[in-house]
Structure formats: structure tokens, C-alpha cells
Structure 1
């Protein structure tokens, strides 16, 4: 099969998923998306993308399986510890000036970043006054985030990251070990709203003081990046903060002027006045 035909098949599949299920991947970065779709085709046992499309359209149980390939669910707690240290040392002092706080973890995946922020805010004495919104387009990822269960094999790395981020307690204070799993304390999500939300098609979350959306924009094309950043701009409170991934930037988006670099090395921005 030629690449040209394969590309046509991919276009048709993405359009079918959008038309039938209203999940819109049409403006995701194409090279990365193509790799994931070809991997899905192989892992799910199809000879062609067209054959995969037929089952996705006629068997609703196929969509969640496909979403697991189309949405990237790779993360870790306190990933890039210097980012969390910058939040702790540079951003938290500003957030302390508010009577209440709203934090949006956009593209929360399986919840590692959400729990990292929940722990950080608890350590800094802000958890009781903070409402967290954790959103993703993948229902299975949201369900995993709500359970707060991770493999014990991951805990050593999570613990090291937490310490490097300036953690004030021991990570073990927040979970119990059970049959090879680390089950994080339910109290960490007492102030959390889990919700399905698409940066591609859904609307503004209003008056957020901090939005953390890391390693999501790299999978979008330029038009979709512009839409997402515009959504973040309109969702932030006056002088609110936006955190991106280490390989992401606002520099080339059409909304760059709406933000000021706050901690440039950690890709933390502050909404500009005006």
C-alpha cells in the first residue's frame, strides 16, 4: 500500500470519528498522529486503516480502544521537578494573595500531574481553598485519574521527583501500598472536579488562577495550538498563570502578546494586563 493511499485512509478515519463521535483529531500534528494510528492498526490486528475505520463506525466498543492510541497517556508524578519547584517558589507566593483558588489541569491523562499539584498545594497550606479541575478527552484516562492507583514500580521515580521539586513531606504520607499498587489518599481529590473536556471543540473554563497544560500542545498543529492558547487566555483570571511543557512555547502563537514570561526556563507564563 502506498503512503498516498494510507494518508487518504487516515483522513477518512479522522473525519469519520469526528462526524460520528464528535472527537476531533483532524488538526493534530499529522506525523505523530500517523505513527500512532499505524501502531493502533497493528496492535488491534487490522490489515488496513480502512478496515479499522469500519469497525470503529459500527462497533462503539472500538472507540475507547482507539482513543488509548490517539491520546498520549505517558506521564509521571512531579515530572520535570524544576517546574514544580518554580511553582512552589515563584507562583505560590502570588496565589497566597487570593481568598480562593481555581486550578485547571488540562489534558490530565491518568492523573499524575493532578496529584502532584494537589500534594504541592497541601504542603503549601493552600489545598483547603483550592478547587481543581482535571480534564481529558479520554474517558478511560479520567477513570484512572479518579482512582489514583499507580504501580509500585513507579513510586521510586515519583518519590525522587517529589524530593527534587522541594517537597516538604514524604510522598509515602499520601499513599498506601496494596498488592503491588500505590493507592493515593482519597482526600487528595476531595477538591477535584473530573470532567470530559476537549481543547479542540469545547468552551472556556472561567476564572482560573493557574492552568497547567504540559506536553499537550506539541501534538497539535499551529491552528489548534492557537485555539487552545486562546482558550487558556480567556479562562485565566486577571494575572493568572499558565504552565506548559519543556518543549512548548507561546512564542509563535497568535496570542503570545496576551502573556508575559514569568519563569522562562520552566515555560511558566502570566496573563498580561489589558
Structure 2
């Protein structure tokens, strides 16, 4: 029978300290139970039957930072996820954004790029794409490289297409990609004004004068303290009256920056920085 892997609080502390010291990766703000599950998964993948064996891998740097990031960080995403959010943006927010000569949008934790592409399609359909700049950041350089390519599985497009229509899409999603050998390549025009940059939300610097920040399904992996730290970063990055969009299971209601925000749509977790 396979032995059950276990790690203690002290082991987690050692992992956080070593990954920071040896790889420059700071996981101190991650929710401990989530981090525990991800570390155990990584230990199993590397055939480490104890934390001591796993510590050997870390101290001898037999792993790369992307090896660690790919298992510790969660990179699940899709196009037009939570279509109600995109529909609301198209109907209620784009009309405000179009008043700016240049529209600055930050996708914090963009993963493999499906969300920026979703927004790019809707911006194009409302004539706003050419004056929009989307800053796409993630801590993981490997997923950023995938995002830059804009290549995805054809089998995923059926679900994406249904959500695109529900989001208020005016055409067919197939108008925005070329399919070949079970893959699709998104049109280059969509990514022309996207800037991909590696960025650590917990320790990174702010961006200036963002009119909208989308950071969805990242906070669920952070402690309350680190969520507040990242929200402070967002407030420093948003232009007055700029929008902040969080994930369905996330909230700024109990945060330290709530007094600086207006709740635009509580159900969809859409906020706006006060003027």
C-alpha cells in the first residue's frame, strides 16, 4: 500500500523559506491549506516519499522555478468565463471607457491569456480595440509564453463559443481564429496591443493610470493580509473612477480599501475607485 504523504506546519515554513531563498519565489501569502495540497502534489510528482527527500530536491536546485510555479500556482482559465461579467462590461462599462483617448487595462494573473483575448474581441466589436492597451501579467513565465502564442485546443471552442454569444458577441467566435490539426490560432490583431510581463502581485510595483483591472480567481489562494496588500497595489494603479473586477468567489467588501471603492455590481464583484 502506498504511504500517505504528510507535511507539517514547520515543513511548510521550510518550503516557503527555501523557495524564496533559492528560487526567488515568495509563497508566504498563500492560504496554508491550499499551499499544503499543492506542495503534496509536487512531492508526489517528483517521487519524494518524505519532506526530507523533497527538501533535497529544493536545496540542490533540481527543480526550476517554472517547475514549482506550474504546480503551486493554479492556471485554470477559459474564454468568456462567467459570461455575465463580460455582458455587463459591454453594456455598462465600455460606454465609460470610450470617453478616454487611450484605454489602459491590466489583467493581473492572466494565465494562458484567454481572458485578455475575450475582452479584446468585445472591445473590437465596439470599436475600442485600437485605442486599448492590455497589460497582461503573471508570476509564471511559462504560461505567459503560451498566452503570447494565442494557440488553444479546438475542442474547447464549443464551450467558449456558447459563452461568447451569452456575453453579447455580435459575430461567430470562429471569425476570430484559424483552426488546424486540432488547434486554433487566434487572430494576430487581437493581441497587437497586448503587453505581456512577468509580475509578482504580492511584491510587485504598481502600474499607472489603469482604467480597468481584472484580477479574477487569484485572491482565493491568498491570505487576507496578502489580499489587502494586493488591493492596495490595485488602488495605487487605478486612475480615478477606474474599475476593478474580481472573481466570483472573491470580494473587496471586508478589505482595508473598501472606503476608497464604490460597489458597481456586488453580485458580479465589479467595483469602481472613487473620484
**TM-score w.r.t. structure 2 length?**
0.95
Displacement of 1:3 = 9.1
Contact 1:13 1:50 in 2 (8 A): no
Moved more, 78-87 or 52-61: 52-61
Contact 1:13 1:49 in 2 (8 A): no
Query: For the aligned residues, what is the CA RMSD?
Result: 1.6
Q: 2:195 aligns with which of 193, 213, 221?
A: 193
Partner of 2:118: 116
Contact 2:250 2:269 in 1 (8 A): yes
For residues 15-69 of structure 1, the C-alpha deviation after alignment (integer angstroms, 9 at most, x for no partner) is: 1111222211111111111111111111222112332232233236432112111
Partner of 2:271: 269
Alignment of 1:214 with 2:235, yes or no, is: no
Displacement of 1:2 = 10
Distance 1:49 1:67, change over 3 A: farther
Q: Give structure 2 stretches of 5+ with no counterpart.
A: none
SS in 1 for 2:26: coil
Aligned residues: 273
Partner of 1:258: 260
Moved more, 54-63 or 122-131: 54-63
For residues 218-241 of structure 1, the C-alpha deviation after alignment (integer angstroms, 9 at most, x for no partner) is: 110011000000011110011000
Contact 2:202 2:230 in 1 (8 A): yes
Partner of 2:78: 76
Distance 1:48 1:131, change over 3 A: same
SS in 1 for 2:267: helix
Moved more, 4-13 or 159-168: 4-13
Partner of 1:37: 39
Partner of 1:176: 178
Moved more, 170-179 or 60-69: 60-69
Alignment of 1:19 with 2:16, yes or no, is: no
Displacement of 1:109 = 0.6
Q: Give structure 1 stretches of 5+ with no counterpart.
A: none
Moved more, 263-272 or 103-112: 263-272
